[in-house]
Each structure stands twice: as structure tokens, then as C-alpha cells.
Amino acid sequence: MQKDLAATLRADLRASAPTASTRGRVAEAIVASSRAGKGILITQADLDQYKTRELAPVECDYRGYHVVSAPPPSSGGVVICEILNVLEGYPLKELGFRSAQAVHVPDRGDAPRLRRPQQLLSAIRTS
């Protein structure tokens, strides 16, 4: 259980958002942790200069689901939507997949004996 995180979310962020992470207890904890870790030093002056940006999420539709994900500069949302857009055109059930995740997970190397990613790539090449 993360009691400090829960307390921060309940008290600090609710009461003083959007500056909760740049002023007050949270900011003090960030500066202290930065000093203790002896890595990149983050100071209160750095936090004072920080500007928050709200960015529109990346959104796409896949087989009846509306997907909302992280916008750039994160690449995750764009990659997910690109993958789903490609997979939309293929009959995954006929190829032996029950979900799009079944295509990706074995391909990461977690299950090297499975040949399904190669089957999908073959189907894509011949279509």
C-alpha cells in the first residue's frame, strides 16, 4: 500500500492543483528526493519555472472500442492507434487470434515458441 501517495492525492493535489507538484509538500519531497538520489538535481527554482501544458489525447476507434491514449511527446498513443489501424483490416479470429494483444505479446519474445506473429506477417505479406 502507498500511504504517502494516497495522502498526497487526497490532500495536496485536490486542494492546490495545478500547482501541487511545484509548491508545498510535494515540491519539498521532490527536491529532497532529488538531493538524496545524487542524480539530476531538481531545485525549488526549477519547479517554480515549470509550466504545465494540457495536450489533447490521441484517440482512435478499433472494432467498436474508442481508445484514448497519451499524446506526443509520448509515442505510446500514436503507436497503439497505428497498430490498431493496421490490425483492423485483418480477420484476427480466422488467423487464430482472440485479441490484438495476442498478436503483440508473443512477438515481444515472451513466448519464442509461438509462431503466430510469423503467421500474421505472412498473412499481411500475401494480402
Domain limits of the chain? 3-49, 58-126
Q: Kindly tell me if the per-residue pLDDT of 42 is higher than 60.
A: yes
Q: In the chain, which ranges are continuous DSSP H helix? A: 3-7, 14-16, 25-37, 44-49, 76-87, 100-105, 116-126
- What is the rounded CA–CA span in Å between residue 34 and residue 30? 6
- pLDDT tens column, 73-103: 887 888 888 888 888 888 877 877 665 555 5
Q: Kindly tell me if the per-residue pLDDT of 40 is higher than 70.
A: yes
- What is the rounded CA–CA span in Å between residue 32 and residue 22? 13
pTM above 0.85, yes or no: no
Mean pLDDT of the chain: 75
Helix (H) or strand (E) holding 66: strand 65-69
Q: For residue 93, what pLDDT is reported?
A: 78
- pLDDT tens column, 56-79: 999 999 999 999 998 888 878 888
Q: What value does the mean pLDDT take over residues 98-114?
A: 50
